[in-house]
Amino acid sequence: MIFNTFAYYLLFLIPSAILYRCSPAKIRPWIIAVFGSLFFSYFAYSMAGLAGAFCLAIFLWESVVSRTYQPNSRWCIFGLLQSLLFLGVFKYWNFFTSLAFWGHQNPLRWYNAFLPLGISFFTFEFYHYAWDRKYNRTESGSVGEYLAFILFFPTMVAGPIKRYQDFLPKLRAEPTPGTTDWEVGGTRILTGLAKKFAIADLLSAWTDHLNAHDIRLASRGILLLWLVAYSIKIYADFSGYSDIAIGSARLFGIRVPENFDWPYGRRNIQRFWSCWHMSLTSWLTDYVFLPLARFRIGSWKPHVYIAIVATMGISGLWHGAGLHYIAWGLYHGLLLLAHKLWRDWRGPASEALLAVTASRVLTYVCVTAGYALFTMDLHTVALFYRRLLAG
């Protein structure tokens, strides 16, 4: 993990935030771009050697090509495709080729495959920029400003996923003088670190080691407890990471999107996804769900139900290159579909205390029940649910 290293704070965050605040407006984007490049090279090298560090070239290439993205331009489509290509090759090559040669040796296996640092996130920001330039929803900004956007290291590794048209005004604004940003940002960072170390890492010591052998031996109560523990661990881990990223950004005087809004207390699965990994939900809504739901061939269009389930299936795949991730995504797609059908049938939800409480509990149970799919391969997950439900 990067956010618990001295290097992150002493080599990158604090020096760059101070330099940023002391620099004239024209230089500030380049401060972020340079430190972001150094950050990427440093940590990418530590994780994947020279090959990882050289992936900085992807950002530099993108900064050049993105200058061609004009409204309605075919270059925008090229930008969309290349974002998907980067993600597809690095993250999914071995997964899809293994599927193609299911049951046989994979002759196309990439044996030294590695993931460039933050690839799931920066390719989504590339895609968003190309799309929004195509539809003239954002200005292009300068090269320095775009480099600052894609190389903004507090959010590079695990989000929140930013939007250029939201980031640009904040980049151009003068950072608020005084200590407020440092106090608020510092507090947010400490909150995130506490969530990570005191809760997530503590629970990980137990939740991360459940295998098929343990599942066979454990009682149903323990398996249930594992699900609850995992639900707490994943929330503390991910929201803690987001807290650190958001707090770090605040040291620059830049506010990035919030990512969590007490998701476990929500009344239905639709509200849960509006409050969990909010920047991803927003991205998927704009760039996957809406295009799918609005897709037409002549007068034929797929039902919106297909768009719901497909979007969540894609979300699952984004989370990891594995069939169980896709299954987890589809599970949530079916939950959203079930919620929609229920709402269409029953109308507005009751405000009675019992109904509200029951809906909150049911939502939490449905979300938590899916975590086994998220963490285990399909064979192990089948064993888990069989043991949990049938003993």
Tokens of 216: 């066979």
343 binds other proteins (CB under 8 A): yes
286 binds other proteins (CB under 8 A): yes
Residue in 93, 340, 369, 380 binding other proteins, rule: CB under 8 A: 340
Give min distance, CB of 290 to other proteins, in A.
6
Looking at beta carbons only, is 44 or 293 nearer to other proteins?
293
DSSP 99-120: HHTTTS--TT--TT--PPTTHH
Give min distance, CB of 231 to other proteins, in A.
23
DSSP 40-74: HHHHHHHHHHHHHHHTHHHHHHHHHHGGG--TT-H
Residue in 213, 348, 353, 390 binding other proteins, rule: CB under 8 A: 348
The SS3 call for residue 174 is coil
Q: Which of the stretches 10-18, 96-104, 233-241, 288-296 binds other proteins when contact is defined by CB under 8 A?
A: 288-296
365 binds other proteins (CB under 8 A): no
Q: Which of the stretches 20-28, 226-234, 342-350, 365-373 binds other proteins when contact is defined by CB under 8 A?
A: 342-350
15 binds other proteins (CB under 8 A): no
Residue in 285, 306, 327, 383 binding other proteins, rule: CB under 8 A: 285
Amino acid, single-letter form, for residue 56: L
258 binds other proteins (CB under 8 A): no
Which of 239, 229, 175, 240 lies closest to 203, judged by CA?
229
Total number of residues that touch other proteins (CB under 8 A)? 22
293 binds other proteins (CB under 8 A): yes
The SS3 call for residue 184 is helix
Residue in 63, 68, 73, 274 binding other proteins, rule: CB under 8 A: 274
Looking at beta carbons only, is 135 or 206 nearer to other proteins?
135
Looking at beta carbons only, is 213 or 303 nearer to other proteins?
303
Q: Which of residues 17-56 bind other proteins (CB under 8 A)?
A: none
169 binds other proteins (CB under 8 A): no
Torsion of CA 216, 222, 225, 230, to 10 degrees: -40
146 binds other proteins (CB under 8 A): no
Which of 121, 120, 96, 118 lies closest to 109, judged by CA?
96
Give min distance, CB of 139 to other proteins, in A.
14
Write the Ramachandran bin of 177: left for phi over 0, alpha for psi from -120 to 50, otherwise beta: beta
Q: Which of the stretches 118-126, 230-238, 281-289, 379-387 binds other proteins when contact is defined by CB under 8 A?
A: 281-289
Q: Which of residues 125-144 bind other proteins (CB under 8 A)?
A: 134-137
Looking at beta carbons only, is 44 or 367 nearer to other proteins?
367
Torsion of CA 94, 97, 99, 103, to 10 degrees: -100
Give min distance, CB of 308 to other proteins, in A.
7
Residues whose CB is less than 8 angstroms from the CB of residue 80 and which lie 6 or more positions away in sequence, other chains included? 127, 130, 131, 134
270 binds other proteins (CB under 8 A): yes
Cα gap 223→251, rounded to integer Å: 42
70 binds other proteins (CB under 8 A): no
Give min distance, CB of 338 to other proteins, in A.
12
- Return the residue matching tokens 């061939």: 297
76 binds other proteins (CB under 8 A): no
Tokens of 147: 């480099």
Q: Are 225 and 283 in contact (CB under 8 A)?
A: no
Q: Are 175 and 253 in contact (CB under 8 A)?
A: yes
347 binds other proteins (CB under 8 A): yes
290 binds other proteins (CB under 8 A): yes
Write the Ramachandran bin of 49: left for phi over 0, alpha for psi from -120 to 50, otherwise beta: left
Number of H helices, E strands in the chain: 20, 0
Looking at beta carbons only, is 45 or 75 nearer to other proteins?
75
Q: Are 134 and 77 in contact (CB under 8 A)?
A: yes
The SS3 call for residue 180 is helix
Interface positions with other proteins (CB under 8 A) = 134-137, 270, 274, 285-286, 289-291, 293-294, 304, 307-308, 336, 340, 343-344, 347-348
